[in-house]
């Protein structure tokens, strides 16, 4: 899998003097069925989250409040995406090593996920991730 498959997309925005509204709905805005929603909050300054890959999980990440960076790494290339608007979403395909950092104070990171929580879907060691990427390339 390539980081080129991970993309930032603006969600619809219904602007209103009473406050703005955005929404996420499938299949055009979420390219998978949502099985789980989780969120990160109260992240202390300087903390990193993530630092793992998923074998099969698809995710859509939204900075509901505040801002943070997501560093995406496919074993060959790396890019950093800053989510800083509640109407921006980042799609992350399987087999991407991701690290979340530079959280602003009060940031809330919402994640829509294609599967329920399953520890066996994680790759938590970077060397294991590189080995899995190389194995995948041999098969393809
Ligand atoms: P983890 O995914 O490692 O957090 P992050 O990558 O954001 O640093 O999850 C941290 C802990 O929370 C870990 O013990 C698993 C647990 N967890 C759940 O029980 N359910 C979930 O949906 C998620 C995302 C994590």
pTM: 0.95
Write out pLDDT tens, residues 17-32: 999 999 999 998 999 9
- Name the DSSP class of 12: P
- Name the DSSP class of 15: -
Write out pLDDT tens, residues 70-93: 999 999 999 999 999 999 999 999
Write out pLDDT tens, residues 107-140: 999 999 999 999 999 999 999 999 999 998 776 6
Residues labelled as active-site residues: 52
The single residue listed with the structure tokens 């929404």 is 23
Name the residue at shortest CA distance from atom 12 of ligand 1. Answer: 117
Q: Looking at beta carbons, which pairs linking 80-84 to residues 24 or more positions away fall under 8 Å?
A: 81/6, 81/8, 83/8, 83/109
- Alpha carbon distance 123, 139 (integer Å): 19
Q: What angle do CA 12, 110, 65 make, to 5 degrees?
A: 75
Q: Would you state the pLDDT for residue 139?
A: 67
Tell which atom from ligand 1 comes closest to the C-alpha of 51.
Answer: 6
Write out pLDDT tens, residues 31-56: 999 999 999 999 999 999 999 999 99
Which residues contact ligand 1 via a Cβ below 6 A?
A: 36, 38, 40, 49-50, 52, 117
Of 35, 37, 38, 71, the residue with max ligand 1 atoms within 8 A of its CB, to mutate for a pocket test, comes to 38
Q: Are 16 and 24 in contact (CB under 8 A)?
A: no
């Amino acid at each position: 899998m390539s980081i080129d498959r991970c993309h930032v997309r603006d969600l619809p925005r219904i602007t209103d003097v009473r406050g703005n509204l955005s929404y996420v709905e499938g299949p055009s805005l979420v390219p998978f069925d949502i099985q789980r929603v989780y969120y990160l909050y109260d992240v202390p300054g300087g903390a990193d989250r993530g630092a793992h890959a998923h074998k099969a999980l698809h995710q859509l990440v939204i900075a509901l409040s505040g801002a943070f960076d997501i560093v995406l790494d496919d074993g060959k290339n790396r890019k950093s995406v800053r989510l800083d608007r509640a109407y921006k979403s980042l799609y992350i395909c399987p087999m991407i090593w991701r690290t979340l950092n530079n959280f602003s104070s009060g940031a809330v990171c919402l994640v829509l996920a294609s599967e329920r929580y399953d520890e066996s879907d994680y790759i938590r060691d970077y060397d294991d991730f590189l080995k899995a990427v190389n194995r995948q390339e041999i098969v393809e």
